[in-house]
């Protein structure tokens, strides 16, 4: 089992610019990446980081192309081996979540993200190729059906929650089990349950 | 196993008032309730609707009190029987989801909703009481710990997605397997993937 973790190193997490400055966003993206890598390792796998730029830790596979092309290049190499693709901003992911993903049956397993994304994917079919642009979970289902692959879902709130915008920080503060939640708390973030809907505030 | 489905019959789904009129919101809430009941039945259980008002189908247990009190009254009757509480607006729920919930081990099993809610709950501890007000998944964990109950999580995107506001309709159109998604499509709703983030539009 290969487990690939794509990481966009250039200006990550811009939708958090209202609450984190540029250096903080870089740091936060790296802490989340570390949480994902830790969960993959704890589940017994060796994660491979697929980054758009070299990083100061290794080994990292660098591919500057758009996500779909970079992932498809990995899939093309697999020679029958099953490959999981887990996004680097799934900071709620735990070893148990990774195990559930990789133990889900099917030629193609999709863990949808909120808003139609494909937050995690497990590919066991030699002809499957990704297309992350647009409503990718719908497109990935169609691509799988078109090649006669049995497509299944991994139904996980932890995999569905990519941390992109301030509302997502609520989930991290509530459910995060890695370093990312602590990173936020150290920088003064806390839940704001004042008026009905839960948000975050920063002291 | 008792499976209770609380339903707020008075002015449901007000946060959808921008896209559905009052009669439509009533209809839609009922169609979602039917989807939840259908999933519970398909999983082999007999759901009990716990409504704030009498409904035109039965049997329905009517309790006008706030949600926590009404649910706690059910829990107080259980006499050692395990009880699941599944919200009526979880329109993505399938029989498989219900089965996963009821098969999760633990004295108290919580399926968190986005934003800190408790969208589904399974109680196997005689002293546990609910408190749905506020950040209830956090409060329910604390209540469980305080009585020495083993508290577990049911990690499900389908259970985490209560359909409250227009952005949630995206998830229903993408992943709904019951009548609710069809109900939306019949009224002209479709995905709008025009400019990056996916939304819904109504023709």
ipTM: 0.96
Distance of CA A108 to the CA centre of its chain: 17
Residue B79: which pLDDT band, with cuts at 50, 70 and 90? Answer: confident
Cα–Cα dist A8/A128, whole Å: 23
Q: Which of B112, B168, B104 is nearest to A174 (CA)?
A: B112
Tokens 């890695």 sit at which residue? A178
pLDDT tens per residue, range B155-197: 999 999 999 999 999 999 999 999 999 999 999 999 998 766 7
Q: Label residue B83 by pLDDT band (50, 70, 90).
A: very high
Mean pLDDT to the nearest integer, A167-186: 97
The reply to whether B191 falls in a domain is: no
- Residues paired with residue B7 on neighbouring β-strands, in sequence order: B51
Say which residue the tokens 């009669």 belong to.
B23
Q: Is residue A53 domain-resident?
A: yes
Contact A134 B159 (CB under 8 A): no
Interface test with A, best of B111, B115, B196 (most A CBs within 10 A): B115
Put simply, the answer to whether A160 touches B157 (Cβ < 8 Å) is yes
Q: What is the pLDDT of residue B11?
A: 82
Chain A residues touching B198 at Cβ < 8 A: 115-116, 135
pLDDT band at A196 (very low <50, low <70, confident <90, very high): low
Q: What's phi and psi for A54, nearest 5 deg?
A: -60, 145
Residue A172 maps to a domain: no
Per the domain annotation, does A124 fall within a domain? yes
Round the average pLDDT of chain A to a whole number and report it.
95
In tens, the pLDDT along B91-129 reads 999 999 999 999 999 999 999 999 999 999 999 999 999
User: Mean pLDDT, to the nearest integer, of A12-36?
Assistant: 96
From chain A, the residues in CB contact with B156 under 8 A are: 155-157
3-state secondary structure of B5: strand
Q: How many domains does chain B have?
A: 1
A68 Cα to chain B: minimum distance (Å): 16
Other CB atoms within a 10 A radius of the CB of residue B166 amount to: 17
A167, part of any domain: no
CATH number of the domain to which B26 belongs: 3.90.550.10
Say if the Cβ atoms of A159 and B157 lie within 8 Å: yes
Cβ-defined contact of A114 to B193 (cutoff 8 Å) = no
Domain of residue B43, residue span: 2-160
B203 lies in some domain: no
**Record: contact A97-B193, CB cut-off 8 A:** no
A59 or B51, which is more confident?
B51
- Considering the domain boundaries, does residue B47 fall inside one? yes
C-beta atoms of B135 and A175 within 8 A: no
Strands (E), B16-59: 47-51
pLDDT greater than 80 at residue B154: yes
Exposed e or buried b per residue across B71-97, where buried means at least 16 C-beta atoms within 10 angstroms of its C-beta: bbebbeeeeeeebbbbbbbbbbbbbbb
Give a yes or no: residue B138 inside a domain.
yes
Q: How far apart are CA B131 and CA A137, in angstroms?
A: 35
**pLDDT classification of A39: cutoffs 50, 70, 90:** very high
């Amino acid at each position: 089992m290969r487990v690939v973790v794509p990481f966009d190193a250039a200006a990550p997490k811009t939708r958090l610019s209202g609450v984190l400055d540029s250096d903080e966003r870089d740091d936060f993206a790296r802490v989340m990446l570390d949480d994902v890598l830790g969960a993959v390792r704890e589940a017994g796998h060796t994660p491979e980081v697929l980054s758009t730029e070299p990083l100061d830790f290794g080994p990292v596979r660098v591919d500057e192309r758009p996500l779909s092309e970079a992932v498809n290049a990995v899939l093309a190499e697999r020679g029958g081996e099953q490959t999981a693709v887990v996004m680097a901003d799934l900071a709620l992911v735990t070893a148990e979540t990774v195990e559930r993903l990789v133990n889900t049956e099917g030629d193609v397993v999709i863990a949808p993200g909120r808003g139609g994304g494909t937050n995690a994917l497990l590919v066991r079919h030699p002809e499957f190729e990704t297309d992350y642009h647009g409503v990718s979970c719908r497109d990935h289902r169609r691509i799988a059906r078109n090649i006669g692959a049995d497509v299944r879902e991994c139904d996980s709130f932890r995999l569905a929650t990519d941390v992109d915008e301030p509302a997502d920080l609520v989930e991290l503060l509530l459910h995060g089990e890695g370093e990312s939640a602590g990173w936020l708390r150290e920088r003064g973030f806390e839940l704001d349950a004042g008026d009905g809907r839960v948000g975050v505030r920063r002291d």
